[in-house]
């Protein structure tokens, strides 16, 4: 059961001649919220907050973000420490279980991931029936949803042991599905996961090994992938995690719930931005006029937005973007890669950081701004960028799902303010309506 936030003070709301006292609760890092859960009962009123920009859906012990100061911590541990010191599997354990694993817990968790890495053989044939050119994110969400038909049901009523196993299964298999989808898309035979390889090495091997050219696993690529996966592993109540919590609150199966997260992540305003950034940088490169695109981004009559810029929560430099930018510059330099897109990205960032439009609105590079350039350098194809994000986010989604089912959560069911036609406005239309002679 979740530790509840403490009540620290009260807010008084004066509305339509009534005065209502509402508790103010405070989290462990001092974040405050007016608790309006009794508002409708006591006043008949609801609140409206499009995009939930000012609304907390839950209390959570998983991730802490301070968007003004650029702080991101998983289970209390700063992201910079995690990226520098531990593996992605350790971070997955941390998110799901609350603490970093001991040596024996790490071995048990790694074994659980390994023993559940194989995709049900009958599901393999599904890949044959997606059209050529299908986006791997669509394949991924379909396949994850289909897992519900192949594996035992996992929902709020499932026993703890099965939950443990199913969570490991979904974290592990998604990696296998992603690599299979890629191999199918390029017409190469699939490569099965291996128990002797670590999580990230296994993924790289499934992506790049071939019967004619065995893949030499590069320790630097494995390290980088660990860092990239760690920084993407959770981000509290973002769009896809909110989708996971919403679908999960209906007590849907774990696999359908995670598939909803994958679908939400595919959007270009969310995880799809990493692919959109590269496409945009390439367009700017072809045009050659960086300043023109900065002007377009600032023009309110132009729908153009700088992809990889801005964030709902961060109003300063995204700490994840800072890590990726450094890794990207170091990796490209060490590999002797001269990517002109990196130069364009630097120029955009330099201009934006001097421009009051971006500075006043707190628009800085977000995590997606430099990841695409780094993935490209690592040989990851562009249509797999968002899939990489999904693999990394799996432990976060699973952690939130587990927290939610253990927390007597109410079904997510917001209200609305109806602004459609009234009964008096439609009464004549209904009275005059001539029904067809035959209703088919």
Q: Where on the chain is the footprint of ligand ACO (CB under 6 A)?
A: 51, 269-271, 273, 297, 305-312, 361, 363, 366-368
Neighbouring C-beta atoms of residue 323, cutoff 10 Å:
21
Q: Closest approach of Cβ 297 to ligand ACO, in Å? A: 4
Q: Do 64 and 56 touch, CB atoms closer than 8 A?
A: no
**Shortest distance, position 271 Cβ to ligand ACO, whole Å:** 6
Q: Which long-range contacts (CB under 8 A, 24 or more apart) does 16-19 make?
A: 16/43, 16/45, 18/43
Find the catalytic residue in 135, 235, 311, 400.
Answer: 311
Q: Give bridge partners of residue 73 from the DSSP assignment.
A: 64, 78
Residue closer to ligand ACO (CB basis): 277 or 342: 277
Is 12 strand, coil or helix?
A: strand
Residue 235 is among the residues annotated as catalytic for this protein: no
In whole angstroms, the minimum distance from the beta carbon of 138 to ligand ACO comes to 18
Tell me if residue 368 is catalytic: yes
On the CB side of 329, CA atoms within 13 Å amount to: 8
Which is nearer to ligand ACO, 181 or 277 (by Cβ)?
277
Q: Which residues contact 97 (CB under 8 A, 6 or more apart)?
A: 105
Kindly tell me which of 252 and 373 has the beta carbon lying closer to ligand ACO. 373
Cα separation, 165 vs 68, whole angstroms: 38
DSSP codes joined into one string, 75-92: TTEEHHHHHHH--HHHHH
CA pair distance 208, 193, nearest whole angstrom: 12
User: Which 8-state DSSP code applies to residue 382?
Assistant: G
Q: Which is nearer to ligand ACO, 249 or 386 (CB)?
A: 386
User: Shortest approach of ligand ACO to residue 354 CB, angstroms?
Assistant: 15
Neighbouring-strand partners of residue 63: 74
**Choice among 90, 318, 368, 400 that is catalytic:** 368
Task: Report in angstroms how near the CB of residue 369 gets to ligand ACO at its nearest.
Answer: 7
116 vs 242 by CB, closer to ligand ACO: 242
**Residues involved in catalysis:** 311, 368
């Amino acid at each position: 059961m979740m530790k509840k936030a403490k009540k620290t003070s009260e807010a008084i709301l004066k509305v339509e001649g009534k005065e209502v006292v509402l508790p103010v609760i405070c989290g462990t890092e001092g974040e405050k919220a007016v608790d309006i859960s009794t508002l409708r009962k006591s006043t008949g009123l609801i609140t409206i907050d499009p995009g939930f920009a000012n609304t907390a859906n839950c209390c959570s012990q998983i991730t802490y973000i301070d968007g003004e100061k650029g702080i991101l911590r998983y289970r209390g541990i700063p992201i910079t420490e995690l990226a520098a010191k531990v593996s992605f599997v350790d971070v997955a354990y941390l998110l799901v279980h609350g603490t970093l694993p001991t040596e024996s817990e790490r071995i048990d968790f790694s074994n659980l991931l390994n023993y559940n890495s194989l995709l049900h053989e009958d599901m393999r044939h599904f890949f044959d029936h997606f059209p050529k050119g299908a986006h791997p994110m669509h394949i991924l969400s379909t396949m994850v949803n289909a897992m519900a038909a192949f594996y035992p049901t996992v929902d709020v009523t499932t026993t703890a042991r099965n939950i443990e196993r199913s969570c490991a299964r979904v974290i592990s298999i998604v990696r296998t599905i992603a690599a299979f989808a890629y191999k199918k898309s390029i017409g190469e035979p699939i490569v099965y996961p291996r128990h002797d390889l670590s999580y990230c090495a296994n993924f790289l091997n499934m992506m790049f090994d071939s019967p004619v050219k065995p893949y030499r696993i590069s320790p630097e690529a494995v390290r980088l992938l660990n860092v990239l996966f760690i920084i993407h592993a959770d981000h509290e109540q973002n769009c896809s995690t909110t989708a996971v919590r919403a679908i999960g609150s209906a007590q849907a199966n774990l696999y359908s719930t995670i598939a909803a997260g994958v679908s939400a992540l595919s959007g270009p305003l969310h995880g799809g931005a990493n692919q959109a950034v590269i496409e945009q940088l390439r367009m700017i490169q072809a045009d050659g006029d960086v300043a023109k695109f900065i002007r377009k981004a600032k023009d309110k009559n132009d729908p153009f937005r700088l992809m990889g810029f801005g964030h709902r929560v961060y109003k300063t430099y995204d700490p994840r973007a800072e890590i990726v930018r450094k890794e990207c510059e170091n990796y490209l330099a060490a590999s002797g890669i001269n990517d002109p897109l990196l130069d364009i990205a630097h120029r955009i960032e330099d201009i934006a950081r001097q421009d009051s439009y971006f500075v006043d609105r707190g628009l800085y590079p977000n995590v997606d701004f430099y990841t695409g350039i780094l993935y490209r350098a690592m040989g990851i194809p562009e249509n797999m960028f968002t899939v990489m994000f999904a693999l990394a986010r799996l432990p976060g989604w699973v952690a939130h799902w587990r927290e939610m089912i253990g927390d007597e959560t109410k079904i997510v069911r917001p209200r609305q303010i109806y602004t459609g036609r009234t009964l008096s406005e439609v009464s004549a239309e209904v009275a005059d309506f001539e029904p067809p002679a035959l209703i088919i």
